[in-house]
């Protein structure tokens, strides 16, 4: 590698640092949970996607351990060669039943699921109409397919209708509307009832990425379509958030769609299968979620309490009902400084800034967890008050 190229990379990193946008990782020395250890310190964790608190649940840990002796450590291959076991199909079928779909297909992550979804299903005669704030994995997946691309402003139904109408006028054979169920930087829910109505009007299909909803939104945690009371055509999601917090993604939908994805979805065909321990824990996580009404109730009680406490202190919050509660700060350096001060006060959060969110919209994205106690939330609110005053965020 040439010195000139290394200097170019070094200069780029220096500019990221100068702009206050350098991302740094703190080393956690405990299981993921409402409280975690970072080196010698115990801190309250408000920035994990561990919505139901299952990441350190003893039944999931036991299920993962128990799977390894009879089934091994890893599959060492892709599914269609010699990389699948009966429990892989068991998990896929349980996911499909849970989500009220015909079938589902597992991937290493939902990023892979979204990356492999569009290209096998849509050709150059087709169209994808995508929300402007969709997750990067949806954007990348759409880029990999040959369908014509249309984009509508976030949750703007007038714009969506205009794009659907344009796609029809331009002769699209099939149209797929793609949206996050929950927009993860803001905690906003997609307007699925309106999206579904417009899709039916223009003969379009609807795909929803439900990573930040599966397990806790809607009846029995079946996600944003269940929450909105509508059916959608394709659902993607993850095992890496509310369903245990490990790794693994899926696509659920009609049987012919899943069958074709098994034949042609490249991340599925060319990536190792999920290890047996993760699959077994995923099955157990679904069991806990299906009977987890108490966890969901506690999660939303915590969310309401937390949002009310921050609002009373005078922080600028984005409105919403989701356990994602963003505290808006504006500039990247302020978000970094606020996160550092909160860590000093015993609260673990991360600043979010460009390119994760638009310039000028830096924030601290707090996330609620069913395992957090009222005492922990009160302590965290005290830390936010101290840090907010120290950083000049609140009076």
Answer yes or no: 241 catalytic.
yes
107 near 83, Cβ under 8 Å? no
Task: Using the CB atoms, write b or e for 148-187: b if 16+ within 10 Å.
Answer: bbbbbebbeeebbbebbeebeeeebebbbbbbbbbbbbbb
- H/E/C letters for each residue in 149-186? EEEECCCCHHHHHHHHHHHHHCCCCCEEEEEECEECCC
Q: What span, in angstroms and rounded, lies between the C-alpha atoms of 106 and 112?
A: 10
| Of the candidates 318, 305, 302, the residue with the CA atom closest to the CA atom of residue 365 | 318
**Catalytic residue among 135, 148, 212, 341, which?**
212
**Catalytic residue among 184, 273, 277, 371, which?**
184
**Catalytic residue among 57, 196, 241, 341, which?**
241
Q: What span, in angstroms and rounded, lies between the C-alpha atoms of 238 and 38?
A: 26
Two structure tokens written together for 345: 């006060």
Answer yes or no: 57 catalytic.
no
| Of the candidates 118, 129, 94, the residue with the CA atom closest to the CA atom of residue 204 | 129
Sign of the torsion formed by the C-alpha atoms of 112, 113, 118 and 120: positive
Q: What span, in angstroms and rounded, lies between the C-alpha atoms of 214 and 209?
A: 10
Between the alpha carbon of residue 280 and those of residues 50, 221, 254, 285, 376, the distances in Å are 18, 20, 24, 9, 32
DSSP 243: S
| Of the candidates 125, 146, 117, 122, the residue with the CA atom closest to the CA atom of residue 134 | 117
Answer yes or no: 341 catalytic.
no
205 near 76, Cβ under 8 Å? no
Q: Which residues are catalytically annotated?
A: 184, 212, 241
């Amino acid at each position: 590698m040439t010195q000139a190229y290394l200097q170019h990379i070094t200069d780029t990193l220096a500019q990221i640092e100068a702009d206050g946008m350098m991302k740094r990782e703190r080393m956690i020395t405990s299981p993921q949970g409402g409280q975690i250890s970072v080196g010698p310190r115990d801190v309250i964790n408000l920035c994990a996607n561990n919505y139901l608190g299952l990441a350190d649940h003893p039944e999931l840990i036991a299920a993962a351990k128990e799977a390894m002796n009879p089934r091994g450590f890893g599959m060492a291959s892709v599914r269609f060669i010699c990389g699948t076991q009966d429990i892989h199909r068991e998990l896929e079928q349980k996911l499909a039943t849970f989500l009220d779909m015909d079938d589902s297909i597992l991937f290493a992550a939902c990023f892979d699921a979204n990356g492999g979804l569009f290209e096998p299903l849509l050709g150059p005669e087709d169209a994808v109409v995508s929300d402007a704030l969709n997750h990067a994995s949806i954007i990348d997946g759409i880029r990999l397919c040959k369908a014509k691309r249309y984009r509508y402003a976030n949750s703007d139904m007038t714009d969506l209708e205009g794009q659907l109408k344009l796609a029809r006028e331009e002769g699209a054979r099939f149209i797929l509307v793609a949206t996050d169920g929950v927009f993860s930087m803001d905690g906003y829910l997609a307007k699925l009832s309106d999206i579904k109505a417009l899709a039916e009007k223009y003969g379009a299909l609807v795909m929803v990425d439900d990573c930040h909803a599966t397990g806790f939104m809607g009846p029995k945690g079946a996600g944003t379509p269940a929450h909105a009371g509508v059916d959608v055509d394709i659902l993607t999601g993850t095992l890496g958030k509310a369903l245990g917090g490990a790794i693994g993604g899926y696509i659920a939908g009609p049987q012919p769609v899943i069958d074709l994805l098994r034949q042609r979805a490249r991340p599925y065909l060319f990536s190792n299968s999920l290890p047996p321990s993760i699959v077994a824990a995923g099955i157990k996580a679904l069991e806990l979620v299906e009977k987890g009404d108490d966890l969901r109730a506690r999660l939303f009680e915590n969310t309401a309490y937390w949002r009310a406490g921050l609002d009373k202190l005078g922080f600028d919050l984005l409105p919403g009902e989701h356990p994602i509660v963003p505290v808006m700060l504006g500039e990247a350096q302020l978000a970094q400084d606020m996160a550092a001060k909160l860590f000093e006060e015993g609260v673990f959060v991360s600043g979010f800034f460009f390119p994760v969110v638009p310039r000028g919209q830096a924030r601290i994205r707090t996330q609620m967890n069913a395992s957090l106690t009222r005492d922990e939330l009160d302590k965290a609110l005290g830390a936010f008050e101290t840090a907010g005053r120290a950083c000049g965020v609140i009076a």
